[in-house]
Structure 1
Amino acid sequence: MTNFDPALAPAAGGGTVPTALGPPEPAIRVDQVTRRYGRGRSAVDALRGVSVDLPTGSFTAIMGPSGSGKSTLLQCAAGLDRPTSGRVLLGADDLTTMSESRLTRLRRDRIGFVFQSFNLIPALTARQNITLPLRLAGRRADRAWLTELVERVGLAQRIGHRPTEMSGGQQQRVAIARALITRPAVVFGDEPTGALDLATGKEILTLLREVVDTLGQTLVMVTHDPVAASYADRVLFLADGSIVEGMDGPTADAVAARLTRLGG
């Protein structure tokens, strides 16, 4: 089974889209990545030679049945896990050859994360949680950028509140602002609406869509929810550790139908 590379997909209506400058450089390039757990007969390949370019300024959703490798792909692409073989490039930097200390600095400075469980520090205010990555790096917050972020995520009236004084949706908005405060090259989301009710989840997805459209942010999200995936520019479907299909301009119904065929 071959891997699907959305960079090679034909344009709608057939043919290719001509451009004088060529396609933009990908924010993340995953090149023949395999991730094997265990040894010998008990070894399991969570990823099997996956290759894909994740375009700069795009919103990509990763989906597939349980055990398909979607979380492993996100972890390898984000530098949270090391591939058994292959490469992961963030711009010109090869994450797979970096030392742990350099990789830690890169994740802190150039990659943002939004998780299902928010991962906020209860003793800190919203402002302190948002600026924590900068404080850990010994950097001061750009006040204008912080103010813009707080307004964009709708927290202007909650900036002095602690997580226990905020709703789940507000806590996730803090987490999104925290992910963006360093102006990262890529933001990775792991089921970012999984702990939220339907209405709040849609608000968060709309916010993520706006972050891509207005800030040019690159966003990669693992989700099991076809509605969440419909907010993305494209969906990559995994099965048995391989990318088996890509879908541009996804709708919830089309995504759900494809997942059904995959057994998701």
Structure 2
Amino acid sequence: MGLRRKKHWGGQAAGPGREGSAWAVELRGVRRQYGRGDRAVHALRGIDLALPRGSFTAVMGPSGSGKSTFLQCAAGLDRPTEGTVRLGGTDITGMSENKLTALRRTRLGFVFQAFNLLPSLTVEQNVLLPMRLAGHRPDRRKAADVLARVGLGDKGRRRPGQLSGGQQQRVAIARALVTDPDVVFADEPTGALDTTTAAEVLGLLRGAVDTMGATVVMVTHDPNAAAYADRTLFLADGAIVDRLERAPAARIAERLTALTAPAPAAAYTEAAAA
């Protein structure tokens, strides 16, 4: 899985990318508009962001702030109206759908609230699915390794329906990590779990960053989940308006509550914070 990579903030290199980039995720001037004229919806209003490899970032904001659109554009699931997106040093903005699909299968991992496991496949087969879809020979030893890392080394032959919700999310995490992706995108990964199980899953994501050099970008509404991250970014009206570094849940909750206050938040940029 690779050794832990040293992390840096403030623009210093965090390790070589597949194309020489220190950044796992870069969004430059990203805007996303739906519709035109008076009915236009500006979901993203100029996102400038660079996240280093080997980091854990949480993204929060009020309903309608642009969190889902941010995740979709960053992961190549949606195309920005303006701006560029780079993943692991690769500019994906103008990629064809075929190339984007291939990139997502080999260089990105996804963890969703609903697990999205195939019930007819075994746990091992679910974990190996990204390799199969990419046309690569399934590596059963790799699957066994990641399943052991998430505490399911003895569950490879079971079906998802035979596992608890927390165990199914562990399988989803193993599936996301099996290709050593540039980035793991997690969308409300603990939304369907109880508090204790959620903490276990978040601990696994934190461990993937700390011990495997993974990069995690997680959208969440839960300050307790965001507290596991290295930084929390706050979105409002399609813009990044604030961030906190290694903050406790109470402080994150306080900042999130402030975003719902009537007073408009000033636009925040990474450059202004440097």
Aligned to 2:245: 248
Structure 2's unaligned 5+ residue stretches are 1-7, 15-21, 262-274
Code of the aligned partner of 1:23: A
Distance 1:8 1:37 in 2: 33
Given residue 13 of structure 2, which amino acid in structure 1 is its aligned partner? P
Question: 1:45 and 1:140 mapped to 2: Cα distance?
Answer: 43
The 2-side partners of 1:194 and 1:92 are apart by 31
Q: Which moved more, 1:199-208 or 1:147-156?
A: 147-156
1:142 aligns with 2:132: no
Aligned counterpart, 1:89: 86
Q: Which residue of 2 aligns with 1:131?
A: 128
Deviation at 1:246, TM superposition (A): 1.1
Say whether the 8 Å CA contact 1:130–1:175 is kept in structure 2. Answer: yes
Among candidates 254, 258, 272, match of residue 257 of structure 1: 254
Letter in 2 for 1:58: S
Give 2:44's aligned residue.
Answer: 47
Give unpaired runs (5+ residues) of structure 1. 1-5, 10-21
Letter in 2 for 1:138: G
1:56-98 Cα shifts (integer Å, max 9, x gaps): 0000000000000011111100000000000001133111110
Pairing partner for 1:36 from 2, 11, 33: 33
Alignment pair present for 1:69 and 2:59: no
- Contact 2:85 / 2:91 at 8 angstroms: preserved in 1? yes
2:218: which partner in 1? 221
CA-CA distance at 1:144 after TM superposition: 3.3
- Counterpart CA distance in 1 for 2:71 and 2:94 is 18
TM-score by length of 1: 0.91
Residue pair 1:163, 1:171 contacting (<8 A) in 2 also = yes
Q: Percent identity?
A: 60
Determine if the alignment matches structure 1 residue 23 to structure 2 residue 4: no
3-state SS of 2:93 partner: helix
**SS of equivalent to 2:256:** helix
Instruction: Tell me the alpha carbon deviations over residues 17-46 of structure 1, each in whole angstroms, 9 at most, x when there is no partner.
Output: xxxxx3331111000000001111100100
Question: The residue matched to 1:29 in structure 2 has which SS?
Answer: strand
Q: Deviations over 1:227-249 (max 9, x none)?
A: 00000000000000000111101
Change (3 A) 1:7 1:31: farther
**Partner residue in 2 for 1:119:** 116
Q: Say if 2:68 and 2:219, in contact at 8 Å, map to a contact too.
A: yes
Task: Give the Cα separation in 1 of the matches to 2:160 and 2:26.
Answer: 35
- The within-5 A match list for 1:116-195 is 116-195=113-192
* Deviation of 1:104 (Å): 0.6
Q: Deviations over 1:186-239 (max 9, x none)?
A: 000000000001110000000110000000000000000000000000000000
Partners of 2:231 and 2:134 in 1: CA distance: 33
Deviation at 1:105, TM superposition (A): 0.3
**Partner residue of 1:105 out of 87, 102, 121:** 102
Task: Output the CA distance in 1 between the equivalents of 2:48 and 2:97.
Answer: 23
Following superposition, the deviation at residue 147 of structure 1 comes to: 2.0
Partner of 2:103, secondary structure, is: helix
- Cα displacement (A) at 1:141: 2.8
Distance in 1 between residues matched to 2:106 and 2:13, nearest whole Å: 26
Shift of 1:7: 5.3
* Distance of 1:156 and 1:114 partners within structure 2: 19
